[in-house]
Amino acid sequence: MTASAPRGTVRAARLAAWLLCALLPAQAALASIPPIVDGRPLPSLAPMLERVTPSVVNVTALGHVQVQNPLLLDPFFRRFFNLPRLPQEEQRQDIGSGVIVDAGRGYILTNNHVIAGADRIVVTLRDGRRLPARLVGTDRASDIAVIQVHATGLRAIRLGDSNRLRVGDFVVAIGNPFGLGQTVTSGIVSALGRSGLGLGGYEDFIQTDASINPGNSGGALVDLAGRLVGINTAILSPQGGNIGIGFAIPINMAREVMEQLIRYGRVRRGVLGITVQNLTPRLARAFGVRGDHGAVITQVVPGSPAARAGLRVGDVVIGVDGSPVRRTRDLRNAVGLLPVGRHVRLTVLRGGRERTVEAVMAAPSHRTIEGRRIDPRLAGARFADVPPDPIGGGPRGVRVVRVAPGSPAWEAGLRDGDVILALNHHTLAGVGDLSAAVGRNPRALVLNLRRGDASLYLVIE
């Protein structure tokens, strides 16, 4: 005798079968959405992204950081427990992005803060290949760096013109957020010319609401034609994640820096020799100037290019090479990208009358010194003055130009690109202050360093 199912169960089974049959055609229709509707193709970013995404790479920077344990800085504690004299370090790994800009020579554009202090750089291509990269040059002031790989089958991105961007233009961000792998997000240009964010020495950012997160740094911001218009660099977020406020370095600024890094290995910024302040309504009335846009010259360095060109204290700079100057940051950003020997035309107001002055950017004075000449514990390192601001101001700090691996300076923890702000609690204005600072405490060297975006203390005994 065969058992029969309850009537309710049979009705439920029949209803489920009917629903399945009814839904199958709908699912089939959804799975095969036609590419053309009413004779028009559906909009999609896919064709553009298929061309562009092979040009965006993942960048992994491997290095070491000091373990900041106060007990290890106490000589008595270290002797009592027979601890090693060398600074305690731990390995770090930073993950970011980069953009191939020259396929033939393997040049990749990225952020300085992605590779700052790295001992080894590894690039992962879109096709999965992992390649060692060489650091070509880096510039902390603009947060731009260039690295190089040697491989076949690279695809370079087309460079756009960031000066033609408008608020409201659609853009796409491509990068490696949180180390997930290549990710694409879209949005619009939310604002242009953002500055005063404390993110770098030269700030003229593109603001976008395209999602940018940690790991996107160094990645591409492209327009709808697939042209590179910016290098993603930072976000504004109280929690460290995307809230719709991201920033990118305009490609026109990045291109100027990149060309110098490739040619010289560093940015050879020229010096104009002036200090300036914003033109305020009160100053405008005092100088008889209409409006309140411009940069007032407050000092002209004797013998500088500005002095030779005839610039005077009280002149109001309102233009550089045809571009308007509304605030001091406009002047600083424009002049700060000019190399040594470049002619620059400044439009100034003097006595209420407009005139044009031409100056030639001059090379800043650079002094270098070998570490062994200062102290045996610094042997293997070479130090140089920090370049002065292009529009005025003297150097502050001492830059570590080169540290030979395995040398006493290397074992002590110094790395290429470090900037020593103070030594033995003595603020450094240049390499000439190093010897005097060492003499303050010959038994130990207490260095206050700036490494990338971080500050730290390093004790060498």
Supply the residues annotated as catalytic: 113, 143, 217
Residue 332 corresponds to which tokens in the numbers above?
A: 């600083």
54-89 residues labelled b (16+ CB within 10 A) or e (exposed): bbbbbbbbebeebeeeeebbeeeeeeeeeeeeebee
296: CB partners within 8 A, 6+ apart: 276, 277, 278, 279, 283, 287, 314, 315, 316, 317
Q: For residue 137, how many other CB atoms are within 10 A of its CB?
A: 20
